[in-house]
Amino acid sequence: MSLYLAPTAAIAAAAAALPRLVEPPIDVKRLERGMALPMPPAPPPPPLVNVNRYVGAKHKAVVVMGATGTGKSRLAVDLALQFGGEVINSDKIQVHAGLDVATNKVTEEERAGVPHHLLGVAHPDDDFTAADFRREASRAAGAIAARGRLAIIAGGSNSYVEELVDGDRRAFWERFDCCFLWVDVQLPVLRGYVARRVDDMCARGLVGEIAAAFDRRRADYSRGIWRAIGAPELDAYLRWSGDDEGERDRLLAAAVQDIKSNTCRLACRQRAKIQRLSKLWRVRRVDATEVFRRRGDDADEAWQRLVAAPCIDVVRSFLHNDAAAMADDLALEVPVFAPTPAAAVAV
């Protein structure tokens, strides 16, 4: 099931007006010295919505959270097209260059012309810490706001988001009012979708992509992009040099199953972290479960009705400082879910 819907004519026209942004790789040595990195050139077109006219002393920013596979990237693009925004990636694996299929980076087509920042910019072998993200995401958000556009932070690494919002003596709060959106999917439904998505990723070349980057000398999968789910799981399969094709097939099947199981475990951890953060911040939850129960056009219709439209209403009220309308748009109540037993996490 695709989580991406072709833009309507109006949105497509808006997308065509947006610039494509290509960022150079991050200069890690400058990062280590704490020096600010050069920003990409400012896009010439005016914003679709002049968000600054809604701003008092602070700028505005939208934060899209959710477990892996719940549609954060799609919602971020929907909001960017609607309000003249730019997306800042907050996924600690996707910030690295390489392994685009394994890390499930949003494609050029899925970006629909929306500029994306901090996506595939760090060297594959380097660590990009939460402090690095806070510094560079803050800089990117400031530049986006200076262009009269809306900064939209989206990604699955909630430790990055927490550091951005609450780190450095909450400096980000001093500059930005934040609207937090949580795209949620019930775990039994999400597990089934994750399994299908891993199969789709394999069909798109996941195994070949990791095999091409495989290094027999590598024993550490705890740094950089090599932490990506898929790389460590395929290690035994890629090291196999025997002639028994049956054993080779068994190793591959076991690796794919481990990828599915570990992705589900990641989703459980991410969801639990968001539940904790929702007690600290004013987080609005939108339930996308019904979208994932459907297929094709039915799923796209459900996405527009149950996810995109309500979130657009919330952000519009947020930009207009309409607190009363925001209170009615999406519930603030966060559901409490029983912990998922470890045995039930496996797909």
Give tens-digit pLDDT for 50-67. 555 444 569 999 999 999
- Boundaries of every domain in the chain: 9-186+282-335, 191-261
State the pLDDT at residue 280. Answer: 93
What does the pLDDT read at residue 10?
Answer: 42
pLDDT score, position 324: 59
Q: Describe the strand order of the beta sheet including 85-89 as a list of residue ranges.
A: 116-117, 85-89, 150-154, 59-65, 176-184, 283-287
Q: Which helix (H) or strand (E) holds 65?
A: strand 59-65
pLDDT digits (tens, 9 = 90+) for 204-235: 999 999 999 999 999 899 999 999 999 999 99
pLDDT at 44: 38
Among 95, 74, 250, 246, residue whose Cα is nearest residue 159: 95
pLDDT at residue 57 in the model: 62
Question: Which residues lie below 8 Å from residue 249, measured CB to CB, with a gap of 6+?
Answer: none
Domain 191-261 has CATH 3.30.300.180: no
User: Are 7 and 81 in contact, with CB atoms under 8 Å apart?
Assistant: yes
Q: Which residues of the chain have pLDDT under 50?
A: 1-2, 4-49, 53-55, 333-347
Characterise 98 by phi-psi region: left (phi > 0), alpha (psi -120 to 50), beta (else): left
Give the C-alpha separation, 171 to 12, whole Å.
36
pTM for this predicted structure: 0.80
**What whole-number percentage of the chain has pLDDT above 90?**
74
* Cβ atoms 314, 181 nearer than 8 A: yes
CATH for 9-186+282-335 (1.20.1440.230, 3.40.50.300, 3.40.1190.20, 1.20.120.1080): 3.40.50.300
Backbone angles phi, psi at 116, to 5 degrees: -120, 135
